[in-house]
Amino acid sequence: MSGSASSVPLTEARVLALSGGVGGAKLARGLGRTLPDWHLAVVCNTGDDFSHLGLEICPDLDSVTYAMAGLADAARGWGRAGETWQAMETLRALGAADWFALGDRDLGLHVWRTERLRGGATLSEIAAEAAARLGVSQHLLPMSDDVVRTRLVTDAGTLDFQDYFVRRRAVPVVSALQYPGAVEARLPAPLAAALAGGWHPDTIVICPSNPYLSIDPILAIPAWRDWLTRVDCPIVAVSPIVGGRALKGCAAKMMLELGHEVSATTVARHYGALLDGFVIDTADAALAGRIGCDGLAVRVLPTVMYDDADRDALARAVLEFAGSLAAHAPARRR
Ligand code: FO1
């Protein structure tokens, strides 16, 4: 297999999912297992990407790739199962930076990607090739082939994402987020080509990812926002906030620091008129009326995913919900 990895064009995809890493990857896996091969395209946040120890690291693309391929470490949510850490031990002994843990198996992907990027391949080509070579029969795409980075304005200064999230363990208090590069960034080349040919998906799913860290970098790209505002299919988001808490990561902490109530309602308001449907957890059933009062369709479902049965059940229910919205041809809210 050479450069373009899979011969299946993106236009085969019927469902497009927007995802960050850990939480989003779980639903992406369920969607992939539920839909026929190549019917799903997952677009991954690349605002978390960074250069480290001479390597190009793409955490969310890799988390989704590993999840879809069945290679992910279930407990950590990032990196590979059965990982060993001998390269890190050597790096530590040499006095190199060891705050970002690169497992031995995982390292191979970073080395290969860095070489491919230096050889002139685009991130879209590399993501598709990595996925196909690891046995994934779904389309995986970066949000852009251009460089967009997430930066956080905090009480410890303006920080690059991984410096904030991993090195400083998300402790600094966040007052604003920046996405340098977003305004100039283009849609990833395979998506731009598919859209130029008149393709559109039947459903768009915003996975239960951190809205500020994982989905906003995508929405900060004007070409993405323009397309999502115009696209003629239901857009359904799944809340990453359950019972007033984030299942993983720092979404709840950040929500508070940005002056919002920690609630699924805040997530729905954050996405606003972009959405046609919103899925909240059974723990938040009491919020359905409040969230739906401005015409947004709300579905209450068990959204906490412990295993593949949970992921598949949520994926099926989300697709059924989106299908019901399409069938009833709602007046577009955007
Ligand atoms: N997250 C951590 O909390 N600590 C780590 O050392 C770490 C290493 C790492 C290596 C490769 C990779 O793909 C992801 C990694 N992550 C690590 C996760 C990552 O930083 C974040 O979970 C995402 O960027 C947020 O979605």
Distance CA 325, CA 334 (A): 15
Name the residue of 100, 207, 214 whose CB sits within 8 Å of the most ligand 1 atoms, as the mutation to test its pocket.
100
* Residue ranges around ligand 1 (CB below 6 Å): 20-22, 48, 57, 59-60, 62-63, 78-79, 100-102, 106, 162, 165-166
Quick one: three-class SS letters along the chain?
CCCCCCCCCHHHCCEEEEECCHHHHHHHHHHHHHCCCCCEEEEECCCCCEEECCEEECHHHHHHHHHHHCCECCCCCCCECCCCCHHHHHHHHCCCCCCCCCCHHHHHHHHHHHHHHHCCCCHHHHHHHHHHHCCCCCEEEECCCCCCCCEEEECCEEEEHHHHHHHCCCCCCEEEEECCCCCCCCCCHHHHHHHHCCCCCCEEEECCCCHHHHHHHHHCCHHHHHHHHHCCCCEEEECCEECCEECCCCHHHHHHHCCCCCCHHHHHHHHHHHCCEEEEEHHHHHHHHHHHCCCCEEEEECCCCCCHHHHHHHHHHHHHHHHHHHHCCCCCCC
Please tell me the residue having the least CA distance from ligand 1 atom 19: 59
CA of 54 to the centre of ligand 1 (A): 17
Nearest-atom number in ligand 1 for the CA of 161 is: 24
CA of 166 to the centre of ligand 1 (A): 7
pLDDT tens digits, one per residue of 51-92 = 999 999 999 999 999 999 999 999 998 999 999 999 999 999
CA of 128 to the centre of ligand 1 (A): 21
pLDDT tens string, the chain, 334 residues long: the values are 344 456 799 999 999 999 999 899 999 999 999 999 999 999 999 999 999 999 999 999 999 999 999 999 999 989 999 999 999 999 999 999 999 999 999 999 999 999 999 999 999 999 999 999 999 999 999 999 999 999 999 999 999 999 999 999 999 999 999 999 999 999 999 999 999 999 999 999 999 999 999 999 999 999 999 999 999 999 999 999 999 988 878 999 999 999 999 999 999 999 999 999 999 999 999 999 999 988 899 999 999 999 999 999 999 999 999 999 987 755 566 6
Please tell me the pTM assigned to this model.
0.96
Query: Hey, what amino acid is at 26?
Result: K
CA of 52 to the centre of ligand 1 (A): 12
Nearest-atom number in ligand 1 for the CA of 59 is: 13
